[in-house]
Amino acid sequence: MKRYQIAIYIRLSKEDDRCKEESNSITMQRSLLERYVKDHFADYDLHEFCDDGYTGTNFERPGVQDMLERVRNNEINCIIVKDFSRFARDYIELGSYLEQIFPFLGVRFISLNDKYDSDNYQGSIADIDVNFKNLVYDLYSKDLSGKVRSALAVRKEQGQYVSGNSPFGYEKDPKDRHALLIAGDEAEVVRRIYSLTVEGYTASEIARLFNETHVKTPIEFKMEKGKTSRIPKGNRFMWTASTICQILRNEIYIGSIVQKKYEKDFVGGKNHIKPREEWLVSYGHHEPIIDRKVFDKVQEGRGKKRNPKRHPTHPLTGKLVCGCCSRNLSYRAGLNPYFTCKNRYSNAMDHCVDKANAMFLEQYILLMMQDKLETEGELERLTKDMIDRYIDKIVVCDEQRIEIFWKENSKVCGCRS
């Protein structure tokens, strides 16, 4: 009997949280799935994947992406969920996974409430109940999302703060979740950022100063208050110029809330920013941290040097990281293109990548790939395939030239083919 590598997947969406259904809670799902595994499996390793506060209309969820990556690496051969809607609400994508992807990868899929076990089905999921349930979940999700969006739109029109998270410098009023109160320790950091900007500091200089003096980052404040838990990508959480810029341009700090900045083409689609004149701004919503005159003065010198041209990308973008701070390297085009760590001016570390020649990296990686292909015997096979393709093309071209030659000569001679 093979040893099962079992993944239990748990998901709680924002809509579920509003319903306050105990059966949908993270704790109850975990308890239900662990009890099932204990009762039905003998030899297994258990892995848990969880997405708390994510919609099931798409697969842009960190927990499910991590699980699917381990499935592709043959580290998981059984997935168990409470019901189909926990894994996905899109019935077309769910059907693709159940009928094609998981069977191809040899992964057993179990949905407890739906009484579905892929081991009991041969080939495709012919049971009409399964397909019908998937369709119902999909339609229910779209209907519920539409209702939630309508309710949020009404609250926004009324000038209420509807985001689930409080911005840095504020916290939710325990008596009214749509109201904001100033968080004293965080607000001091915000005031200092604006004060330094007025004095002439750039965003990079402020970030470097904060990193050198070990000023806590926004995520560290949240972790201290038990609002979230994260693991830093490098050795520690760092202030960046982009974080400073986001704080400097946010009108939340002068008592205004800006809503309806983005819109989606469809449920589960991507956000697109709307024209500024279509934004919904509610003034005087809460107590400001920054004076309006200071905020306007800061905005005067911002955005003037922005280059509207889109910078070229590189195939290695997103694949190279700094050996010092572990951040992704940025590509800089030009006569001598190079990769650099954009945080080297702000993170107060002395050994971040300054310039790594892009052409040298390309050649080095190509040589490494060539060596690997030669070692595995792939280079000879690829070369042979390429030669065969070119020979086929030459043969086709020769046949076409011969056919054209005979047609032209037959016209000259007055012959009929």
Q: Kindly report, residue by residue over 157-202, the tens digit of the pLDDT.
A: 666 777 777 889 898 888 887 788 888 889 899 999 999 998 888 8
**Residue whose C-alpha is closest to residue 35's, from 91, 99, 80:** 80
**Residue whose C-alpha is closest to residue 50's, from 60, 62, 38:** 62
Return the pLDDT at 121. Answer: 67
Return the pLDDT at 84. Answer: 84
Return the pLDDT at 372. Answer: 79
- Poorest-pLDDT segment among 13-17, 19-23, 339-343: 19-23
Mean pLDDT of 330-339: 83
Output the six-digit token pair for 322.
Answer: 């700094």
More confident residue, 287 or 274: 287
Q: Is the pLDDT of residue 310 over 50?
A: yes
Residues 189, 201 contacting (CB under 8 angstroms):
no
Mean pLDDT of 52-64: 80
User: pLDDT confidence of 38, banded at 50, 70, 90?
Assistant: very high
Buried b (16+ CB within 10 A) or exposed e, 35-65: ebbeeeeeebeebebbbeebbbbbeebebbe
User: How far is 61 from 363, CA to CA, in rounded Å?
Assistant: 36
More confident residue, 336 or 210: 210
Mean pLDDT of 134-140: 58
E runs forming strands in 316-358: 330-332, 338-340, 356-357
The CA-atom distances, in angstroms, between 203 and each of 12, 246, 366 are 37, 10, 38
Q: Is 318 helix (H, G, I), strand (E, B) or coil?
A: coil
Highest mean pLDDT among 109-118, 128-137, 384-393: 109-118
Return the pLDDT at 238. Answer: 85
The pTM score is 0.48
Return the pLDDT at 189. Answer: 92
User: How far is 33 from 30, CA to CA, in rounded Å?
Assistant: 5
Output the six-digit token pair for 10.
Answer: 């748990």
What interhelical angle do 184-198 and 292-300 show, nearest 10? 50
**Residue whose C-alpha is closest to residue 252's, from 301, 202, 211, 288:** 288
Output the six-digit token pair for 61.
Answer: 């969820």
What burial class does residue 251 get, using C-beta atoms within 10 Å of its C-beta: 0-12 exposed, 13-18 middle, 19+ buried? middle
Mean pLDDT of 234-253: 86
Q: pLDDT tens digits for 83-108?
A: 888 888 776 777 778 888 888 888 99
Q: Is 218 helix (H, G, I), strand (E, B) or coil?
A: helix
Q: Is the pLDDT of residue 263 over 80?
A: no
User: How far is 214 from 201, CA to CA, in rounded Å?
Assistant: 18
Return the pLDDT at 49. Answer: 92
Residues 280, 152 contacting (CB under 8 angstroms):
no
The CA-atom distances, in angstroms, between 378 and each of 73, 205, 367, 370, 385 are 22, 50, 14, 9, 11
Mean pLDDT of 59-87: 89
Q: Which residues contact 340 (CB under 8 A, 6 or more apart)?
A: 329, 330, 332, 353, 354, 355, 356
Summary count for the chain: helices (H), strands (E): 14, 14
Average pLDDT, the chain: 78
Return the pLDDT at 81. Answer: 92
Q: pLDDT tens digits for 181-191?
A: 888 889 899 99
User: How far is 324 from 347, CA to CA, in rounded Å?
Assistant: 10
User: How far is 61 from 68, CA to CA, in rounded Å?
Assistant: 11
More confident residue, 268 or 388: 388
The single-letter DSSP state of residue 389 is: H
- Poorest-pLDDT segment among 85-99, 248-262, 264-278, 329-343: 264-278
Mean pLDDT of 121-130: 52
- Poorest-pLDDT segment among 26-40, 70-84, 382-396: 382-396
Mean pLDDT of 347-354: 75
